[in-house]
Amino acid sequence: MNNGMKVEFSRHNIGMEEKEAVFACLDSIFLTTGSVVSQFEKEFARYLNLKYAVGLNSCTAALHLALLALGIKKGDEIITTPLTFIATPNAILYTGAKPVFVDVEKGTGLLDHNKIAKAITKKTKAILPVHLYGQMCDMKAIKKICGKKKISIIEDAAHCIEGRRDGVAPGELGDIACFSFYATKNITCGEGGAIATNREDLADQIKCLRTHGMSKSAADRYVGRYQHWDMEALGWKYNMSNIDASLLLNQLQKIEHFLKRREEICSQYEQAFRSHPGIKLLDIYRQSRSARHLFTILVDPKKRDEILWKLQEKNIGVAVNYRALHLLSYYRSEFGFKRGMFPMAEYVGDATISLPLYPKLDNREVEYVIKSVKEAVKS
Ligand SMILES: *Cc1c(COP(=O)(O)O)cnc(C)c1O
């Protein structure tokens, strides 16, 4: 019935160049954080047109250290969205601060900046917008809200390296942006992350905090005469290795090329689903470039799970990004959240289905996904 077709939800795009770079790294003396990481940091910052980047082992680590570097601590409140991966509010909890959810826009699923002002209290120290699915939040509006009140901005840009909005890049108006190189992200080394910022003080602190707060990194200690190191602050073990950076340097070279193919696939999906009964699509802002990380459709919430299963039966990999986080057991019991508190996030969370979207997807596979989705929605 499906001609043996199997369409994975995600497939990485590690090519020969990446493999050769990893071999070269393995033949070198230095596997941990060293010159390859420094080179990646330089090129990643240059791609974003920001001054500094720091390589880490995940975006979760990036969010945690970004919050710490901005002085976030117990008792503080951080405004964020309930429609994101759990890493976002969990990183807030690691610092002892409290995540304060603000509902999303129905049309885009992005944090609704018009609802931020009402959630601000004396304890609000930062806002953590998430550039969901690759589309940036309205950073100009968010900056305007925060500017007067001395509220920091940390951007969760795990979905959005390539995105821009109103000419603004991730990390440009915020104090710091956090990125992921997890296996399914737009560029990957399996597990990895980074921060990027124009603030030297934040970059310096995070470099120190990523290896236990040690005053000298392994690379510093390797060159020249032995020197004692000191511990200046309580840090974590969140550094990126040269092996990861070898992969990422080559992935970064291809980032625009990858995006172009995902854009083609998105326009095929959009054409097929735009006015199809039973399917709704999210809005994309005109004055923006989406990083096109995930392609989602919205269906009748009562039928969503059944449609998911039908697509799986047709050997199509699907996902849900994301069910509204305030409804997960831990957040319900810890904070007393209930259904009805963030209705737009709940609606998207109950209606959304993510379809396969990656450069290796060929046109035959895209057509098979389209046909199967239409069948699954109809029945
Ligand atoms: C993937 C993801 C993260 C976490 O990234 P890791 O590198 O896996 O820690 C954080 N936020 C969002 C929105 C993500 O999609």
Burial of 216 (0-12, 13-18, 19+ CB in 10 A): middle
- From the candidates 42, 118, 140, 185, which is the catalytic residue? 185
In angstroms, the CA 159 to CA 293 distance is 6
What pLDDT, on a 0 to 100 scale, did the predictor assign at position 107?
Answer: 95
Burial of 199 (0-12, 13-18, 19+ CB in 10 A): middle
What pLDDT, on a 0 to 100 scale, did the predictor assign at position 220?
Answer: 82
What pLDDT, on a 0 to 100 scale, did the predictor assign at position 1?
Answer: 52
The pTM score is: 0.97
What pLDDT, on a 0 to 100 scale, did the predictor assign at position 188?
Answer: 98
What pLDDT, on a 0 to 100 scale, did the predictor assign at position 226?
Answer: 87
Q: Is 88 in the pocket of ligand 1 (CB under 6 A)?
A: yes
Q: Is 158 in the pocket of ligand 1 (CB under 6 A)?
A: yes
What pLDDT, on a 0 to 100 scale, did the predictor assign at position 3?
Answer: 66
State the amino acid at position 149 in one-letter form: K
Q: Is 217 in the pocket of ligand 1 (CB under 6 A)?
A: no
174 and 140 Cβ atoms separated by less than 8 Å: no
3-state helix, strand, coil in the chain (%, to 5): 40, 15, 45
pLDDT in tens, 200-221: 999 999 999 999 999 888 888 8
Buried b (16+ CB within 10 A) or exposed e, 15-30: eeebeebbeebeeeeb
CA of 330 to the centre of ligand 1 (A): 19
CA of 195 to the centre of ligand 1 (A): 12
In angstroms, the CA 130 to CA 307 distance is 27
Q: Is 59 in the pocket of ligand 1 (CB under 6 A)?
A: yes
Nearest-atom number in ligand 1 for the CA of 58 is 7
Low-confidence stretches of the chain (pLDDT beneath 70):
1-3
In angstroms, the CA 104 to CA 119 distance is 13
Q: Is the dihedral of CA 201, 206, 209, 215 positive or negative?
A: negative
Instruction: Supply the DSSP symbol for 127.
Output: E
Atom 2, ligand 1: residue with shortest CA distance: 158
What pLDDT, on a 0 to 100 scale, did the predictor assign at position 287?
Answer: 82
Q: Is 295 in the pocket of ligand 1 (CB under 6 A)?
A: no
The question of whether 144 is a catalytic residue gets the answer no
In angstroms, the CA 77 to CA 56 distance is 25
The residues, any chain, with a CB within 8 Å of residue 304's CB and separated by 6 or more, are 350, 351, 352, 353
What pLDDT, on a 0 to 100 scale, did the predictor assign at position 225?
Answer: 83
Nearest-atom number in ligand 1 for the CA of 60 is 9
